[in-house]
Each structure stands twice: as structure tokens, then as C-alpha cells.
Chains A and B, each alone.
Chain A
Amino acid sequence: MKGVTQEEYYRGVRMAPYDLVKELAIALAGVGVLALVVSAVVSSPDEPPVTISAWVQSDPVDFVTTATGELAGTTTSAGYGQPYNATADAAQKWGPISPQAWLGARIPIDSANTFVIQPLQRAAFGNAQLDTAVKTWQAASADDQGKWTDAYTKALTDAKVADDGTITVADGDYGPLPLMMANLLGMARSGALDGLLQISGRFYQTDYTPALLFMGDGGYLDGLAGSWNLHGDQWGMMNETGQYPGQTWLWLYTMWYQVFPFNSDTGALGLSSANADLGIVILMTLLTAALALVPLIPILRDIPRWVPIHRLIWRRYYSAKVSA
């Protein structure tokens, strides 16, 4: 009804006094008191962040297994695809739709070099043994490297952790890996690896991509997240650490991850757990657009007429109509 003035719209409608400013003032005070009291009584959640150092001290075998996986190219980050690297067929796609692949490797992360080789090269200064080990690794053929990482990864499943935090595995042909990993373990334990990955060669920086990707490749941070029910298959998006409410407004977004086809390996219509992120982003974009366009959508825009909630809200109006 364009062009209708309020005077015309409300012609014949009885008006009553109403104090909007007082209403706002009361609302400000009420919300304030509620927030202040609840904050004072229950505070807010603040689980301390994990560091690589904490990871190593808690589970050195998982750390070394992850680092070995980086060299082998088997970790999540190593085979992720865009935007970190151009691994073939890694990007999520639904038929021809693959925005992940279209936008390219704009945040290049070379997992093996960034997380393992370069830190060890820094530590090799003045450490002839380590220097030789790293050079041996880099000079070796891909076949040899693969043999060593396969064997070492298998052996790590039965690794023993000594009191000083070092690990030992059964005898075998692992090439320079045990020495490299022992040094990496030491760097990690001391906090040096945290520093190196966070600073990434700069002094001032605020981008934690390398450190978070590396920790995300391992089982420690992920295991802690599972214990707080933060995983995707635990409705995790909605949840919070401790006894606090989370982001309840994300209920519909996280719900799709729990249902077919997004929770299934085989799925349907080309959608499965393999491309669930892409599929659900598309779905939620469509649903949000539908919500915004409700005034234009038949049935959705008519439901309010059929459901008698408005008759409760406006009961004075409707009873006046009946008695008129």
C-alpha cells in the first residue's frame, strides 16, 4: 500500500496513549539488571586454549604420528585442497558446483615443510646429527620416504613413552625419522614450535592459520572438543564448554549435519558427508532467502491467517468487532 499516509491508514482507528520512550527506558533497565545479576552469579565460559607444547606433554605419540603424517602427506591439511593446496579431487563439489576449487590455493600451506622440515632446519643449526638427518630425508627418493613413513607410523601404534616424555618404538627401518621426530618433540615440548608456527617468520602478526591447521591435524585438540560435545556430529555448533548455553540460534544449521544425506557416506542426489559443508551452505542460503521473502511465498505467508495466534494477540480488537 504505497503512498498511504499514517493519517489515512489509521482513519477510524481508535488511538490510545502510549509511552515509547518510557518503554525503552524500562527495557534498558530490565535487561541491564538481568544481565548484571546473571553475570555476577554464573560468569562466562573460558576454557584455556591448547598449545602444541600441551599437546606433546599430554600425548607425545599422537604428536609424532601427526608429524609423520605431515611428511607422508596423509594428514587432513596435507590433502585438504583449496585454499591451502591444489590436491586433485580434494575440494568439495556437487555436480559441477565447486566454489572451493574455483577460488584457488590462495592461502598456500605446505604441511610437510611448514610444520616439520623448516622448524627442524632451524633447530639443526649447531646440531650436526639433526642437520644430516634432515638432509638425508630431503635427498631420499619418494619411494624411500614412503617406506619409512609407513613403517614408522605402524610402529608408533605400539610406541612406549618414557618418563622424560621421549618415545621409543620397536626396531625397524625408519631412515632418519626417529632422530628428526625426537628433535621435533623436544622443540614442541619447549614451546619453540608454538612460537615458530605462530610468528611464521614475521614479528607482528595476527594470523594463526599454520598453528591451528597443525593442531587440527592431530587427535589431542579434537579429542578435547569431543569431550565438550563440540563436534559436527554432536550438534556441536550449538554447544558451549562448561554449563553455559551455546549458539542456540544455529540449531537449524547444525541439524542438517545429523540427518540424511549429510550424515551418510553414500548419501543421495550427489550429496553425502563428503560434500556436506557445501550442500548445507547452499541449503541454508536458500532457506534464509525464503525467510526473507516470506511475504511473497504462498502458503508460508498465509499460515498466520490459519493459525489463531493473532486472535490471542488482538483479542480486544476481535471482541470489539463481535460486540459491534
Chain B
Amino acid sequence: MDSPTTYFHWGFILISLPNLLVIAGMVVLFAIALVAPFPHGGKDDGRD
């Protein structure tokens, strides 16, 4: 884990593989959170 990592160079962007994975992972996680069904608790108990 202590050897140099891979870098990606697109235009003026230079990013390391671990950083790219973190950022891409965040975008994926956000997208999943948007669409994944959320467990709904018990029925409405009528209280307000």
C-alpha cells in the first residue's frame, strides 16, 4: 500500500486512483440513495 499509486490525466485534471474511486463512489452512493426504496415503518397511527 506504500508504493506510488496510479494517476489519471485528462486535460488539466490530474487525479489519483484512490481519490477517483472515492468521488465516483460518492456519486454512485447518492444516486442509489435517491432511487432505492426506503422501508416504511408501521401504518399511520392517526395521531397528529
In their complex, do chains A and B touch, with some C-beta pair under 8 Å? Answer: yes
Residues in A with CB closer than 8 Å to B42 are 16-17
Which residues of the partner chain A approach B48 to less than 8 Å between Cβ atoms? 10-11, 15
A244, closest chain B residue (CB): B18
A179 at the interface (CB under 8 A from B): no
B contact residues around A19 at 8 Å (CB):
41
Cross-chain contact B41 with A18 (CB below 8 angstroms):
yes
Complex CA–CA separation, A234 to B48 (angstroms): 57
Q: Are A238 and B19 in contact (CB under 8 A)?
A: yes
* Interface bits A1-35 vs B (CB < 8 Å: 1, else 0): 00000000011001111110000000000000000
With both beta carbons as reference points, the residue of chain B lying nearest to A227 in the complex is identified as B4
Tell me the residues in window 224-244 of chain A with beta carbons closer than 8 Å to chain B beta carbons. Answer: 227-229, 234-235, 238-244
Q: Are B18 and A243 in contact (CB under 8 A)?
A: yes
Neighbour of B1 across the interface among A16, A234, A243, A259, CB < 8 A: A243
Let me know if A16 and B18 touch, CB within 8 A.
no
Chain A residue contacts of B3, Cβ below 8 A: 242-243
CA distance A135 to B22 in the complex (A): 58
Verify A243–B5 contact, CB threshold 8 A.
yes
CB closest residue in chain A, given B2:
A242
Known: A239-B19, A248-B22, A259-B12. A16 touches B41 (CB 8 A): yes
Contacts of B47 in A (CB 8 A): 15
The count of residues in chain B whose C-beta lies closer than 8 Å to any C-beta of chain A is: 27
Residue A42, interface by CB 8 Å: yes
Residues of A215-231 whose CB lies within 8 A of B: 227-229
Q: Which residues of B contact A229 (CB under 8 A)?
A: 4, 7, 14, 16
Q: Is A312 an interface residue (CB 8 A)?
A: yes
Contact residue among A47, A245, A309 (Cβ-Cβ distance under 8 Å from B18): A245
The answer to whether B23 touches A45 (Cβ under 8 A) is no
B22's contact among A14, A235, A245, by CB below 8 Å, is which? A245
Q: In the complex, are the beta carbons of B44 and A241 less than 8 A apart?
A: no
A296 within 8 A of B: no
B40 to chain A minimum Cβ distance, whole angstroms, is: 7
B18 lies within 8 A of A240 (CB): yes
B2 touches A258 (CB 8 A): no
Residue ID in chain B nearest A247 by CB atoms: B19
* Min CB–CB distance B1 → chain A (angstroms): 5
Given A248-B19, A312-B34, the answer on whether A241 and B14 have CB atoms closer than 8 Å is no
Given contacts A15-B47, A258-B12, A313-B34, contact A242 B5 (CB under 8 A): yes
How would residues 2 to 39 of chain B score, 1 for a CB under 8 Å from any chain A CB and 0 otherwise? 11110100001111111101110000000000110000
CA–CA, A228 to B19, complex, Å? Answer: 14
- In the complex the two chains form, what is the Cα distance from A259 to B13 in whole Å? 10
Bound complex: CA A243 to CA B18 (Å): 7
**A172 CA / B11 CA spacing, docked (Å):** 48
Instruction: Give the Cβ gap from B9 to chain A, nearest Cβ, in Å.
Output: 10
Would A234 and B18 count as touching, CB distance under 8 A? no
A299-324 vs B, Cβ < 8 Å mask (1 yes, 0 no): 00000000001001100000000000
Contacting pair A239 B16 (CB below 8 A): yes
- A246 B19 Cβ-Cβ under 8 A: yes
Q: What is the bound-complex CA distance between A309 and B30, given in angstroms?
A: 11
CA separation between A227 and B13, bound complex, in Å?
18
Q: For B43, what are the chain A residues with a Cβ–Cβ distance below 8 Å?
A: 16
User: Can you list 7 pairs linking A and B with CB atoms under 8 Å apart?
Assistant: A15-B44, A15-B48, A16-B42, A45-B1, A238-B15, A245-B21, A251-B23
